[in-house]
Amino acid sequence: MSRCGRGKNRPQKIEKEADSKHFMFSQISGCQPAPEGYSPTLRWQQQQVANFSASLNKHRNHWRSQHLDSNVIMPKSEDEEGWKKFCLGERIHSEIDALPNNENIGIDYMKVGFPPLLSIVSRMNQATVTSVLEYLISWFGEKKFTPELGRWLYALLACLEKPLLPEAHSLIRQLARRCSEVRVMEENKNEEQISALNLIICLVSRYFDQRDLADEPS
């Protein structure tokens, strides 16, 4: 994006405000570049999109036949806190380091979170998918990236149908930008985590045609 030249007598305050607004706009409009050495290749990005697309085309009809376990009670669409706990579990949602371990009891999904099973996500209409995506992106805006969050974000992206609802369009762009911010702040350069963040950015930018957010090939 080109910037206009500055007049010699331009007031300093206005100049600083303009610079600030330009900086903020540049941060809002695009993604932060990947850390050096971690930018995905174009071939990798194309392969992820092809795999994602092929998986959707192959399995979408099969999703509808999945039976939901009678023990699974999905929150109402408008229950933001309920969905955060449902997807992420009480440990992550409440930022508890560890939960009491009792080997005699099976997995308590309300504590560890439900995985995005086909039997669950196949029962979510587009309005619910968009709402849950909004809840998790809101949570992610202030929290760290976790494998549980990554699995749900991927599943929800897979549930989105084209053409996107306006709300979903805005949300996935917000998601990609947030992933790019977290990727830059990743201190230990955890390759598995950066790869997961790269994948989400890739799907948003290249599968959902938000090309201005795409990573430049390394």
160-179, pLDDT tens digit by residue? 999 998 999 999 999 999 99
User: What is the Cα–Cα distance from 77 to 83, expressed in whole angstroms?
Assistant: 8
Q: What are phi and psi of 137, to 5 degrees?
A: -65, -40
Domains of the chain in sequence order: 42-62+77-96+108-213 (1.20.58.1070)
Comparing CA positions, the residue from 122, 62, 60, 120 lying closest to residue 87 is 120
* Cα within 13 Å of Cα(181), Cβ side: 16
Q: Which one of 24-28, 53-57, 103-107 scores highest in mean pLDDT? A: 53-57
- Range in 64-68, 73-77, 193-197 the model is least confident about: 64-68
Reported pTM: 0.79
| Predicted pLDDT of residue 26 | 37
Which pLDDT band holds residue 107 (cuts at 50, 70, 90)? Answer: low
pLDDT of residue 46 exceeding 60: yes
User: What is the Cα–Cα distance from 214 to 30, expressed in whole angstroms?
Assistant: 9
Six-digit token string for 47: 């392969």
Peptide bond into 100 cis (omega under 30): no
pLDDT digits over 137-161, tens only?
999 998 889 999 999 999 999 999 9
Which pLDDT band holds residue 110 (cuts at 50, 70, 90)? Answer: low
| Predicted pLDDT of residue 179 | 96
**Residue 74: DSSP 8-state:** P
Distant-in-sequence, close-in-space partners of 163: CB < 8 Å, separation ≥ 6: none
Q: Which residue reads 């201190």 in tokens?
A: 187
